[in-house]
Amino acid sequence: LVLVGGHGWQADRLERALRLMHARASVRVIGYVEDADLPALYGGAVALAFPSLYEGFGLPALEAMGCGTPVLASNSSSLPEVVGDAGLLVDPLDIDAIADALSRLASDEPLRRELGERGRARAASSTWERAARETLAQLRVATEPVVQSVREAHPGRQAGRPG
């Protein structure tokens, strides 16, 4: 098992737990990884386990999927939208569900291959251009009532011209 990420608020607790469980030899904590090294890390992984409790977007899941790495993620926050059917979604507070999903990913090569393919396809459709286009469309929907009421209040005026 490889744990990646900055030295966070529970790092000391994690270190103690690994020692108490005599699991320290089986777990590598490598800390922060440069962006340029992430594809190699994801590409060499059996899966990405990302049972985050709070996630604004879930970029690690999208990055792993882009590398064809199967993803196990939380069924809460933004992750179901990011991962969709291209990964296994679990309750991040259910340790047994996380363990079962990890075991399944570790032992089921066809499942890993299928999720890897789905993940690549899903990640390929998540572009900045698409995000900008969809954001602009939502902004138009949200502002249309205001634009319409201004047009009704000032008939004959054109946008951008004093009247």
- Give me the CATH number covering residue 39: 3.40.50.2000
pLDDT for res 110 = 98
In a domain, 14, yes or no: no
66 and 141 share one domain? no
Q: Starting at the edge strand that comes first in sequence, how are the strands of the sheet with 48-50 ordered?
A: 48-50, 71-74, 87-90
121 and 102 share one domain? yes
147 and 109 share one domain? no
pLDDT for res 159 = 60
Neighbour tally for 95: CB within 10 Å: 11
pLDDT for res 151 = 82
pLDDT for res 163 = 55
In the chain (163 residues long), the average pLDDT of successive 10-residue segments reads 82 89 88 93 96 92 97 96 96 97 97 98 88 88 86 74 58
- Report, in angstroms and rounded to the nearest whole number, the Rg of the chain calculated over CA atoms: 22
102 and 162 share one domain? no
In a domain, 5, yes or no: no
Neighbour tally for 37: CB within 10 Å: 12
In a domain, 121, yes or no: yes
Compute φ and ψ for 31, nearest 5 degrees. 70, -150
Angle between helices 109-124 and 59-66 (to 10 degrees): 110
Give the C-alpha distances (Å, rounded to integers) separating 51 from 9, 10, 89, 101, 162: 16, 15, 8, 11, 54
Cα separation, 94 vs 102, in Å, equals 13
109 and 147 share one domain? no
122 and 82 share one domain? yes
Helix (H) or strand (E) segment spanning residue 70:
none
Tell which residue, 39, 41, 48, has the closest CA to residue 74. 48
Quote the domain boundaries for residue 161: 127-163
121 and 138 share one domain? no
Residues 68 and 114: beta-carbon distance below 8 Å: no
In a domain, 27, yes or no: no
117 and 136 share one domain? no
Helix and strand numbers, DSSP H then E, in the chain: 7, 5
120 and 85 share one domain? yes
62 and 132 share one domain? no
39 and 117 share one domain? yes
